[in-house]
Amino acid sequence: MEQKILEVRAKRGGNIGTVTMRLLVLLDTYGAERLEVAIREALERDVPHHHAIQQIIERTRREEGAVPPLPVSLPDDPRVRDLTVRPHDLSTYDNLAQPIKEDDDGEACATAQ
């Protein structure tokens, strides 16, 4: 499908380098499935332009109630790009949700579970 949009843009005198760059940004931002669907719709509507494709993607995302994606720019450092974050057990925070009561001296203390 991406090749078809490039062919149509080339026949209409479009800058293929710009279109390719914009499609890659859309791919990175929204993913292959959304991009494919939007390109197909743009071709069906005879609006083979990256602005139309982005508008189609945004429209369908709004209709689905999806939040806008936030781009993440990571440094080209393998220590960052290959980092794996292991979540810990959140039950350790359960004590924070317990009501606070006072001991015999008027000092605040957490209730025992």
Q: Is it the case that residue 107 has pLDDT exceeding 90?
A: no
Higher-pLDDT residue of 4, 37: 37
Cα 95 to Cα 31: distance, rounded to the nearest angstrom: 41
pLDDT at position 71: 72
- Answer whether 69's CB lies under 8 Å from 29's CB: yes
Kind plus residue range of the DSSP H or E element containing 102:
strand 100-102
Q: Which two tokens stand for residue 6?
A: 């490039």
DSSP state string for 27-73 = HHHH-HHHHHHHHHHHHHTT--SHHHHHHHHHHHHHHHTPPPP----
Band (pLDDT 50/70/90 cuts) for residue 113 is very low
Q: pTM for this structure?
A: 0.59
Q: Where along the chain do its domains lie?
A: 2-64
pLDDT of residue 51: 93
